[in-house]
């Protein structure tokens, strides 16, 4: 028996991550300009770190919390959801999770049976399709409309529904495209979900990072949608808390109770130190969030300006949210985004992520993060310009 035979089909069916491959390859390159990760580069604000230290010193973190998360944290989350997302919830409708990722996994495990189809507007954050595959579900990719700023194709979604469709899973503001799905379309999507008795699972990790006049809208705020929706949020992006691994999901008590059954065998509870840090994040000043947003906005504008100054290599939709953009490669050699990105890394020392990592409709694109210092963007684009001018 080869070692492969020991591995479950669920897991062996998951392709290896192109993001991790680019990270591995980047480690072999001398000082690459690194635009590959969707990770805040700032450190967690001091008042949040201090609150965690206090909780440790007071002896509050040595045990498990209740499985759903500390009550005081869930109460603070309820207030935040009402204030910022127009979502009415009760603490019993909140599950504190290990980042948004574990909330999404628990939602998929609780809602998807083997063979169930899950519609994913694509290009998409690759983890979402992996989560469906782990649950032995079938991801069904519906292209989003690039020419329309990467917005949802509502008719395409309607047409993709079959007897096996169980759920629609999407992310807004979007990774990898930087689109923010419009309220009007999300309301139509809600109607489709109700008409066809579908669940909706959302990833709202970048909720605070929208630009210009664009506003984030939570589909679960529509009356009646909580009964069929799980919306996942996180502290990772909002407060630069990537490594704390803390987020939460909101849904009806009925769904949350079932999600808990998926949460307990994988996690028991979210890390307690991080729960105290999250509480301080919600109760403290929100100025840090405004500062992060302002920073990402100016980095978006810089990246767009540097793209505009290049000869005709890329075409892009201006991102209205997240801190990511997804330019289309206009050169013939760009139709294989993996080879294109490897070449860009090895010959121009710029690390990006190939579009194919975000589903088949991501091909011929690359993802660039503007959540990086100004100098990194300038170095990356100086190098890209030199590389293509020399060719
Ligand atoms: C769309 C999206 N969802 C979730 C995550 C991860 O969130 P968390 O750290 O809360 O698990 C990321 C991280 O890059 C992301 O881009």
Tell me, what CATH number does 256's domain have?
3.40.640.10
Which residue's CA lies nearest to atom 12 of ligand 1?
205
* End position of a domain, from candidates 253, 283, 313: 283
Q: Please, how many CA atoms are within 13 Å of residue 25, restricted to the half-sphere of its CB?
A: 23
- Given a cut of 70, is residue 255 above it in pLDDT? yes
Which residue's CA lies nearest to atom 2 of ligand 1?
205
* 2 or 157, greater pLDDT: 157
Computed over every residue of the chain, the mean pLDDT equals: 95
Distance in Å, CA 101 to ligand 1 centroid:
6
**What range does the domain containing 39 cover?**
3-44+288-390
Q: How many domains does the chain have?
A: 2
Q: Are residues 20 and 79 in the same domain?
A: no
Q: How far is CA 90 from CA 82, 94, 251, 253, 319, in A?
A: 10, 7, 10, 8, 34
- Given a cut of 50, is residue 386 above it in pLDDT? yes
Q: Are residues 217 and 318 in the same domain?
A: no
Q: Are residues 241 and 303 in the same domain?
A: no
Ligand 1 atom at minimum distance from 203 CA: 3
Cβ neighbours for 373, distance < 8 A, ≥ 6 positions apart: 41
Q: Are strands 350-351 and 366-369 parallel, antiparallel or unpaired?
A: unpaired
Distance in Å, CA 127 to ligand 1 centroid:
9
* End position of a domain, from candidates 224, 251, 283: 283
10 Å CB burial of residue 87 (0-12, 13-18, 19+) is buried
User: Ligand 1 — pocket residues by CB below 6 A?
Assistant: 38, 99-101, 125, 171, 175, 203, 205, 234, 236, 242, 247
Distance in Å, CA 244 to ligand 1 centroid:
12
Torsion sign over Cα 346, 350, 356, 362: negative
* End position of a domain, from candidates 225, 256, 283: 283
Ligand 1 atom at minimum distance from 235 CA: 10
Residue 387: closest CA among 332, 350, 333: 350
- Given a cut of 60, is residue 2 above it in pLDDT? no
Question: Which pLDDT value is given to residue 3?
Answer: 58
Q: Are residues 79 and 167 in the same domain?
A: yes
Question: Which pLDDT value is given to residue 19?
Answer: 78
* 2 or 77, greater pLDDT: 77
Q: Are residues 108 and 224 in the same domain?
A: yes
Question: Which pLDDT value is given to residue 38?
Answer: 82
Q: Are residues 127 and 24 in the same domain?
A: no
Q: What percent of the chain has pLDDT over 70?
A: 99
Q: Are residues 296 and 374 in the same domain?
A: yes
Distance in Å, CA 175 to ligand 1 centroid:
9
Q: Do the beta carbons of residue 104 and residue 131 sit within 8 Å?
A: yes
Segment 307-327 mean pLDDT: 96
Q: Are residues 199 and 53 in the same domain?
A: yes
Segment 280-297 mean pLDDT: 97
- Given a cut of 70, is residue 1 above it in pLDDT? no
85 φ, ψ (degrees, to nearest 5)? -120, 0
- Given a cut of 80, is residue 24 above it in pLDDT? yes
Which residue's CA lies nearest to atom 3 of ligand 1?
205
Q: Are residues 31 and 59 in the same domain?
A: no
Q: What's the CATH code of the domain at 337?
A: 3.90.1150.10
Q: pLDDT for 322-366, tens place per residue?
A: 999 999 999 998 899 999 999 999 999 999 999 999 998 999 999
Cβ neighbours for 235, distance < 8 A, ≥ 6 positions apart: 241, 244, 246, 247, 274, 277, 278, 281
| Best of 205, 209, 267, 358 for a ligand 1 pocket test (most atoms within 8 Å of beta carbon) | 205
Q: To which H or E segment does residue 272 belong? A: helix 272-283
| Best of 19, 38, 358 for a ligand 1 pocket test (most atoms within 8 Å of beta carbon) | 38
Q: Are residues 177 and 314 in the same domain?
A: no
Distance in Å, CA 321 to ligand 1 centroid:
14
Q: pLDDT for 29-77, tens place per residue?
A: 999 999 998 888 889 999 999 999 999 999 999 999 999 999 999 999 9
- CA–CA separation, 322 and 332 (whole Å): 29
Q: Are residues 117 and 31 in the same domain?
A: no
Distance in Å, CA 4 to ligand 1 centroid:
29
Q: Are residues 158 and 34 in the same domain?
A: no
Question: Which pLDDT value is given to residue 221?
Answer: 98
What one-character DSSP code corresponds to residue 115? Answer: T
| Best of 97, 127, 172, 325 for a ligand 1 pocket test (most atoms within 8 Å of beta carbon) | 127
Distance in Å, CA 130 to ligand 1 centroid:
13
Q: Do the beta carbons of residue 380 and residue 353 sit within 8 Å?
A: no
| Best of 234, 238, 324 for a ligand 1 pocket test (most atoms within 8 Å of beta carbon) | 234
Question: Which pLDDT value is given to residue 67?
Answer: 97
Tokens of 117: 């189809």
Question: Which pLDDT value is given to residue 391?
Answer: 74
SS (H, E, C) 359-378: CHHHCCEEEEECCCCHHHHH
């Amino acid at each position: 028996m080869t070692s492969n035979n020991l591995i479950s089909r669920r897991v062996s069916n998951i392709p290896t991550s192109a993001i991790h491959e680019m990270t591995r390859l980047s480690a072999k390159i001398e000082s690459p300009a690194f635009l590959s990760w969707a990770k805040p580069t700032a450190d967690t604000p001091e008042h949040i770190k201090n609150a965690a230290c206090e909780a440790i010193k007071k002896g509050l973190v040595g045990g498990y919390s209740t499985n759903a998360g500390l009550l005081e944290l869930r109460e603070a989350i309820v207030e935040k959801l009402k204030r910022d997302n127009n979502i009415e919830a009760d603490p019993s409708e909140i599950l504190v999770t290990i980042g948004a990722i574990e909330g999404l996994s628990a939602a998929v495990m609780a809602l998807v049976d083997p063979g169930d189809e899950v519609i994913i507007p694509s290009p998409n954050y690759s983890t979402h399709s992996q989560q469906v595959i782990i649950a032995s579900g079938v991801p069904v990719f519906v292209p989003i409309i690039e020419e329309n700023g990467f917005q949802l194709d509502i008719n395409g979604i309607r047409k993709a529904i079959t007897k096996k469709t169980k759920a629609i899973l999407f992310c807004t503001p979007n990774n990898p495209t930087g689109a923010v799905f419009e309220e009007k379309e999300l309301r139509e999507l809600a109607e489709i979900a109700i008409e066809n008795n579908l669940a909706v699972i959302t990833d709202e990790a970048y909720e605070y990072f929208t630009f210009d006049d664009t506003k984030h809208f939570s589909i679960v705020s529509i009356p009646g949608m909580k009964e069929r929706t799980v919306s996942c949020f996180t502290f990772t992006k909002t407060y630069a808390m990537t490594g704390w691994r803390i987020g939460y999901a909101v849904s009806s008590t009925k769904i949350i109770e079932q999600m808990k059954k998926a949460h307990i065998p994988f996690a028991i509870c979210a890390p307690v130190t991080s729960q105290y840090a999250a509480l301080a994040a919600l109760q403290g000043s929100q100025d840090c969030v405004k500062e992060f947003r302002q920073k990402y906005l100016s980095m978006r504008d810089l990246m767009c300006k540097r793209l505009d100054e290049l000869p005709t290599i890329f075409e892009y939709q201006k991102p209205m949210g997240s801190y990511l953009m997804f330019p289309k490669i206009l050169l013939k050699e760009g139709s294989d985004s993996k080879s294109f990105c490897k070449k860009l890394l090895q010959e121009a020392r710029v690390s990006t992520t190939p579009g194919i990592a975000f589903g088949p409709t991501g091909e011929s694109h690359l993802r660039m993060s503007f959540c990086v210092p100004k100098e990194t963007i300038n170095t990356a684009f100086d190098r890209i310009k030199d590389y293509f001018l020399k060719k």
